[in-house]
A and B are shown apart, each in its own frame.
Chain A
Amino acid sequence: MRWIWIDKFLEFRSGQFARAIKNLTLAEEHLHDHFPGYPVMPASLIIEGLAQTGGILVGEAGGFVEKVVLAKIPRAEFFGVACAGDQLVYEVTLTDLRSEGAVVEAKAFLEGELLVDAEIVFAHLDNSRANQIFGPKNFVFTQQLLGVLDLAKAQERAKAAAEADSHAANNGLPQPPTA
């Protein structure tokens, strides 16, 4: 299993806000155990998805120089459950950022309704100490996890290029009739 609990970024404003989605599917093993016959997304994994969304937002704000670790969840309220087939939308707002760490307001929505409202504190792990314990490898921002952000950037570039092509075509060529 890959420890990636978001599927795609829909919006990413550096140092401010990120919106990501997580599709729940019966291909995920844990939904068969939690619970048999009633596949509910575990609350802890929703928090993990929110933390990954927020962690990337915090890490990107510092150019991924610092290792960002989930330090504390001072508050988390759950207002319902999400099941297989649902799509969760994670919205994270960066409220505080300083050299030692950061705080985000994190919300999960299901079909437009607030499902989870949480606050997450991240700490910047001291690089020298982190290297002593974990080695030089960046265990927080793995390439797999950062690939989600890279994908969003690539899609954004492709969309911009397609729009530019369309704009150029509209300015230079007669338009086909529309239905």
Chain B
Amino acid sequence: MPTQQEILEKVQTTLVDALGVEPEDVQEEATLQGDLGAESIDFLDIVFRLERNFGIKIPRGELFPENVVADPDMIADGKLTAKGVEELKTRMPYADLSSFAENPEVDRIGDLYTVDMLVKYVASKLS
């Protein structure tokens, strides 16, 4: 079982290869879309690379959930409802929702995808 630091370094390499960013930009708190410029299609590339680099299997929708806000009960006035936030916590157990829950605007969901989230997810798969 690799250390947290070893996982972080390999995740950083993965993101440098997938997104063409500089290694120093891939900090733990960096968001994939906002800070590192990832687009939706990059998520598929990242999944492929994480599987290859760590020898893990990532089921569809497990790392990057799909149709999170498809249910009308989950969303109101551009924000997630309490039920929606709970659903998101269930679907994204590796993400830090503490800040997001205070202002759960749908547009901010993308900010939950961080380098740290990837590291925690991979660590859980390897443990």
* A contact residues vs B (CB 8 Å cutoff): 71-72, 74, 95-96, 98-101, 103, 121, 123
Known: A72-B41, A74-B18, A101-B44. A96 touches B60 (CB 8 A): no
A123 to B60, Cβ gap below 8 A? Answer: no
Known: A96-B48, A96-B52. A72 touches B60 (CB 8 A): no
Contacts between the two chains (Cβ within 8 Å), count:
32
Q: List B contacts of A103 (CB < 8 A).
A: 45, 48
B38 CB to nearest chain A CB (Å):
11
6 tightest Cβ-Cβ pairs between the two chains A and B: A71-B41, A96-B48, A101-B44, A103-B48, A121-B45, A72-B41
A168 CB to nearest chain B CB (Å):
49
Q: What is the bound-complex CA distance between A131 and B42, given in angstroms?
A: 23
B17 to A74, Cβ gap below 8 A? Answer: yes
Nearest CB in chain B to that of A75: its residue:
B17
A74 to B45, Cβ gap below 8 A? Answer: yes
If A72-B44, A74-B18, A100-B47 are given as contacts, then 15 extra A-B residue pairs at C-beta distance below 8 Å, sorted by A number, are: A71-B41, A71-B45, A72-B42, A72-B45, A74-B20, A74-B45, A95-B52, A96-B48, A96-B51, A98-B48, A100-B44, A101-B48, A121-B41, A121-B45, A121-B48
| Chain B 49-69 per-residue mask, 1 if CB under 8 angstroms from chain A, else 0 | 001100000001000000000
Within 8 A of A (CB), among B50-92: 51-52, 60
Q: List A contacts of B52 (CB < 8 A).
A: 95-96
Q: List B contacts of A123 (CB < 8 A).
A: 41, 44
* B contact residues vs A (CB 8 Å cutoff): 17-18, 20, 41-42, 44-45, 47-48, 51-52, 60
Nearest CB in chain B to that of A71: its residue:
B41
A70 CB to nearest chain B CB (Å):
10
A99 to B60, Cβ gap below 8 A? Answer: yes
Q: What is the bound-complex CA distance between A89 and B60, given in angstroms?
A: 35
Q: List A contacts of B51 (CB < 8 A).
A: 96
Q: Can you spell out 9 A-B residue pairs with CB atoms less than 8 angstroms apart?
A: A71-B44, A72-B44, A74-B20, A74-B45, A95-B52, A103-B45, A103-B48, A121-B48, A123-B41
Q: List A contacts of B17 (CB < 8 A).
A: 74
Nearest CB in chain A to that of B17: its residue:
A74
Q: What is the bound-complex CA distance between A101 and B47, given in angstroms?
A: 11
Q: What is the bound-complex CA distance between A100 and B45, given in angstroms?
A: 10
A150 CB to nearest chain B CB (Å):
30
B68 CB to nearest chain A CB (Å):
16
B23 CB to nearest chain A CB (Å):
16
B48 CB to nearest chain A CB (Å):
5
Q: What is the bound-complex CA distance between A100 and B41, given in angstroms?
A: 10
Q: What is the bound-complex CA distance between A100 and B52, given in angstroms?
A: 16
B44 to A121, Cβ gap below 8 A? Answer: yes
Nearest CB in chain A to that of B60: its residue:
A99
Residue of B17, B45, B52, B60 with most partner-chain A CB within 10 A: B45
